[in-house]
Structure 1
Amino acid sequence: MRRWAAYRGEPLYLEELVSSPAHSLIEQSHCATRAKTATNGDGFGIAWYGDRPEPGRYRDILPAWSDCNLRSLARQIRSPLFLAHVRAATTGATRRDNCHPFVHGRWSFMHNGQISGFEQIRRSMESLLCDELFNARTGTTDSELLFLLALRFGLDADPLGAVEKAIATVEKLSYEKSGEALVRFTAAFSNGRELYAVRYATDHRPPTLYAAPMGETAGGKQGYCLVSEPLNDEADTWVEIPDGSAVRVNDEGMQALLFQPQSLSKAA
């Protein structure tokens, strides 16, 4: 599995999530406590937003704990919105193109979870992409393909609705191919203005997701950090996001929403 952290609020240095906390993302890369695998050493990545609409990005296949450049960049880069990820590969080889976050235009996306039987439905998923999105695919992971499907289903116009349609489509294809579907999906994604996160699983055993206030937004509201694991031992600070839920963080703060792709798949 993987571990990730995301933030939206007043600008802060990436190190405040990536390297400085007691249980920072770098610490989680070799000592995760709320994942099936404690070690997440198959690469890492960060995406951050600044003055341009599209995000900056840095990825590598080295374990996060052994890359001195990551600590240096995290100490110097200050951003109001960023995503950071450490990878334990489940599908796709250990190569840079398979490291999260994935980026297309102004969107960034990272994922923790799995599609059971992915190779059986991969070609069917790819066939739903337009030429532009099919040609944009550079890696081999289920995560990147889910991201591209969400773009195909209208991520720009309706972010959560598009992700619901992408997950519902995966479930439908899985049922058609094998008679069953297992999707575990905890993801964060952003268009540079709003930050979204989703926690969902067909078997109601999704990867973990927590939220905590951190900093402020541009409008003076509270900023938020979204993580796979709490960054410290302050248990009262972190709220676990329940299965079948989504959150949106913007200038108004954080809003909790339902995430229900199952109804879409049953109707399909």
Structure 2
Amino acid sequence: MCRWLAYSGTPILLDAILYRPAHSLIDQSLHSKLGVETTNGDGFGVGWYATDVDTPAVVRDTAPAWSNRNLREIANHVRSHQFFAHIRASTGTAVQQTNCHPFRHGHWMWMHNGAITDFHRMRRDLALVVDPELFLDIEGSTDSEMMFFLALTFGLEEDPPGAVARMAGLVEEVGHRHGVEFPLQMTVAVTDGQSLWAFRYSSQGASRSLYYSTKVETLRALHPDVAFLRGISDDTRLFVSEPLGDLPGAWNEVPENSYGVVRPGTDDQDLVPFAPQAA
């Protein structure tokens, strides 16, 4: 499987989140504690939004994240209010650049941890549902990218939670038709550059790990000596596959079958039940 993080809030250098924490995503690429694999070395990707640019920049590579000099260079010089980072452990598809996350279409970014069970048996049926014009933009061979383009087909632009629910519903319907008992395993992050949604769901009810950060105001009261907390806004939030450190009170598990929303200008962080819908 994979590990990922999604950041939204005060513009910061990517380095502050990617490298500096004790159990940073770079550390997780070698020493994951909660993932299926300890090592996530089948490539990486980062995507970020710059000021006054609607579409995100995306850099992806098949090299391991822990030794990549280009990633280190980017992290030291890129500052963003919203960014994704992902380290990959392949579930069977090729290790190639087009299969590395995050995926981008227009102003949207998407990344995924998990799998569509027996994807090779279901791939054709799923692909035929993708909008023909969108299908032309699929570059890789992963189940994750297929999920993204199905969500786009099902109205991601107008209704992100509904589109993801319809995508999940289709995957389960097709999977059951092929005799797959538990077709879907996913934690997903998706953003339009403004709002951020993070989903945790699996057909079996045993989803991969996903955590969200405690409100900054609360953390400042708990840890007034932590300098990083003094420099970020109250609406700053993180979703992570596993905690980036052991700061008491900093991390909260996203419940099974639910999703969270982060919107700019508010420190609210709604957690809402999630269930697949008929496509």
TM beyond 0.5 = yes
Alignment size in residue pairs = 262
Matches within 5 A, 1:209-224: 209-212=210-213, 213=215, 221-224=234-237
Which residue pairs with 1:26 in the alignment? Answer: 26
Which residue pairs with 1:258 in the alignment? Answer: 273
The residue type equivalent to 1:147 in the other structure is F
CA shift at 1:179, angstroms?
A: 5.5
Superimposed CA distance per residue, residues 31-87 of structure 1 (whole angstroms, 9 cap, x where no aligned partner)? 100111100000000000112111001100000011011011011110000000000
Matches within 5 A, 1:32-111: 32-50=32-50, 51-111=52-112
Partners of 2:155 and 2:76 in 1: CA distance: 35
Asked whether the 8 Å contact 1:92–1:139 carries over to 2, the reply is no
- Match of 2:237, SS state, is strand
RMSD: 1.6
Superimposed CA distance per residue, residues 215-254 of structure 1 (whole angstroms, 9 cap, x where no aligned partner)? 89xxx54210110011111142100001111001012232
Bigger strand fraction = 1
Distance 1:222 1:124, change over 3 A: same
The residue type equivalent to 2:243 in the other structure is P
Matches within 5 A, 1:233-248: 233-248=246-261
The residue type equivalent to 1:258 in the other structure is P
CA shift at 1:187, angstroms?
A: 0.8
Partners of 1:198 and 1:247 in 2: CA distance: 7
- Match of 2:261, SS state, is strand
Which residue pairs with 1:128 in the alignment? Answer: 129
Which residue pairs with 1:7 in the alignment? Answer: 7
Distance 1:35 1:179, change over 3 A: closer
Asked whether the 8 Å contact 1:91–1:140 carries over to 2, the reply is no
Partners of 2:44 and 2:180 in 1: CA distance: 35
Which residue pairs with 1:230 in the alignment? Answer: 243
CA shift at 1:185, angstroms?
A: 0.6
Asked whether the 8 Å contact 2:171–2:183 carries over to 1, the reply is no
The residue type equivalent to 2:32 in the other structure is A
Q: Normalising by the residue count of structure 2, what TM-score does the alignment of the two structures yield?
A: 0.91
Identity of aligned residues (%): 41
The residue type equivalent to 2:274 in the other structure is F
Which residue pairs with 2:219 in the alignment? Answer: none
Asked whether the 8 Å contact 1:45–1:101 carries over to 2, the reply is yes
The residue type equivalent to 2:166 in the other structure is K
CA shift at 1:180, angstroms?
A: 2.5
CA shift at 1:182, angstroms?
A: 2.6
Partners of 1:86 and 1:234 in 2: CA distance: 23
Partners of 1:91 and 1:259 in 2: CA distance: 27
Partners of 1:3 and 1:249 in 2: CA distance: 20
